[in-house]
A and B are shown apart, each in its own frame.
Chain A
């Protein structure tokens, strides 16, 4: 096929992408350099760096970014810990059963964030399902406050994004050659040795891929922190929404989100460089 023809095939999709995805991003960037006038959506003409200077100099924004990072980090870690036994279990099933379990796992993702959030709301309310159960079996004597706390948001995030980790992890577990494990066992390696020397290193690519997906999803989540945080937990998504839709400060919400993206991009660049350096050193 001539390249011209191939390009024509892509052209409609490309146009759509440019029109609805790329151009709005230009608007976003342009707005972030404009001034905000209270009570109107129209900015005066002219270019200003004020929004960005504000972002850098006011510690409040840093505290929002930091909280977002902290919540995402904790959630990702918990997801990693929880998804490992689940993935191991699933990877050991026969193909049919495996499919069934994988379908169950993906339900929270395809079932819609809103329904999950609503379910968590009912579960985590002060007089909701979880507190009722805990009180009934005598584990606690006072209801625990989950809603409006970081813990509540983290519970919601963990459940929402666990499938993103289970899928890559299961597929990398499935690729491990059973013979290698069996050989190691026959040669007398203990369960933990096998895990730490064989299984875990071999699943690292899956873990890495899953972690990146999960971490990004947590960083920019909006529905979960907004509903389960009850307006008390300000993270990136909720603050961007508040400024864009409730205060109608589009310049600030634009610069706030662009700045965050830049920070994440820088951070991941640093992490990947460090990782590569480490790998090189170990390789030597």
Chain B
């Protein structure tokens, strides 16, 4: 019986790499055909950059958000790299966990590409954890100036209001969320997190100040309590909103449209009283990573027009690449053109410095809300 057991263990060990799926040998022609198919619609610049590259045997680990973003990456960024022999592993999740991971693995990074939000990348570059963006990626020069800061900006969105139209006569402004009939029906974003920070800042602005006077912000936010849901995933948020258990929530612009297109009873409002808070998804290359060439190829593909256009058309995330031209309904739904300039910028560095304190207050004032 002991022998049986040892054999079982051996089998398990032997099985584990098999399980991961080895790549089978492909012929020269097959590979060329795969590359041609995967590259369809790519611009000249990107094609030239990728030309002749062979990533066989390399595995790139990419930390990124899941859901609709994952779908885009699987369809537009990953195929050209896999056709060239690379293996891509996505690590899905929120930026918070990812961000702490790259700090802890500073000397020995296991992640190659890390998607962050617009202030995390400033910190990580300052601390020498992620690379400074540069024109070694050809598409870098095509990025709008505000998308070149500390990272390669990938998409720009505004934090607006997703709502159930049965409960609102007109698209709501931020102020409207504080109407008494909505008390206890507004979902909050998770905290700490960029949407959470932005919503705090908005509360402060509704109270007449801004993020530098957060006492007012917390006081104002408490008026919305109790919190029916602290949302960490959108499926759940929109399902509850569709059924009317939640009437509205601060949500990043692109996300809501996807669910509206799925036929849910949801609408999205671009508030005009304070405006939408600008948020940007950014991509960073982790310093000292093991596959610099493959990382650069990923970066180029991530910000090239084909991918950027897909972001806009498929999931309504605003382009950061100035080469991308949008029209019609898409242009109306994404942050694009002059809408970019209307977005509200927050003092993120100040917010970061205070995050530990605010997390404490959020735990205390918002989550522990007991009606007083």
- What are the 3 A-B residue pairs with the smallest beta carbon separation, nearest first? A231-B230, A246-B96, A60-B364
Asked if A247 contacts B97 (CB within 8 A), the reply is no
29 examples of A-B residue contacts, CB within 8 angstroms = A36-B356, A38-B353, A38-B355, A39-B353, A40-B127, A41-B103, A60-B368, A63-B368, A126-B239, A126-B243, A127-B239, A143-B245, A148-B230, A230-B229, A230-B230, A230-B232, A231-B230, A231-B232, A232-B227, A232-B230, A234-B363, A234-B368, A242-B359, A245-B96, A245-B100, A246-B97, A246-B192, A246-B359, A247-B359
Contacts from A to B (Cβ < 8 Å): 36, 38-41, 60, 63, 125-127, 143, 145, 148, 230-232, 234, 239, 242, 245-249
B residues contacting the other copy or chain, number (CB 8 A): 30
Chain A residue nearest to B192 in the complex (CB)? A246
Q: How far is the CB of A4 from the nearest CB of chain B, in Å?
A: 29
Q: How far is the CB of B356 from the nearest CB of chain A, in Å?
A: 5
Contacts from B to A (Cβ < 8 Å): 96-97, 100, 103-104, 123, 127, 190, 192, 227-230, 232, 236, 239-240, 243, 245, 352-356, 359-360, 363-364, 367-368
Question: Bound complex: CA of A194 vs CA of B307, how far in Å?
Answer: 75
Asked if A245 contacts B356 (CB within 8 A), the reply is no
Q: B352 contacts which chain A residues (CB < 8 A)? A: 38-39
Chain B residue nearest to A54 in the complex (CB)? B360
A148-B229, A230-B229, A232-B230 known; A245+B97 contact, CB < 8 A = yes
With a 10 A CB-CB cut-off, give which of B123, B127, B367 has the most chain A CB atoms.
Answer: B367
Question: Bound complex: CA of A38 vs CA of B123, how far in Å?
Answer: 11
Q: A60 contacts which chain B residues (CB < 8 A)? A: 360, 363-364, 368
Give me 6 other A-B pairs in contact (C-beta within 8 A), A230-B230, A234-B363, A246-B359 excluded.
A39-B353, A40-B127, A41-B104, A230-B232, A245-B96, A245-B100
Q: How far is the CB of A132 from the nearest CB of chain B, in Å?
A: 13
Question: Bound complex: CA of A231 vs CA of B227, how far in Å?
Answer: 11
Q: A143 contacts which chain B residues (CB < 8 A)? A: 245
Asked if B367 contacts A232 (CB within 8 A), the reply is yes
Q: How far is the CB of B129 from the nearest CB of chain A, in Å?
A: 11
Asked if A246 contacts B100 (CB within 8 A), the reply is yes
Q: How far is the CB of B16 from the nearest CB of chain A, in Å?
A: 18
Q: B228 contacts which chain A residues (CB < 8 A)? A: 145
Q: How far is the CB of B134 from the nearest CB of chain A, in Å?
A: 24
With a 10 A CB-CB cut-off, give which of A41, A60, A143, A232 has the most chain B CB atoms.
Answer: A232
Q: How far is the CB of A223 from the nearest CB of chain B, in Å?
A: 15
Q: B245 contacts which chain A residues (CB < 8 A)? A: 126, 143
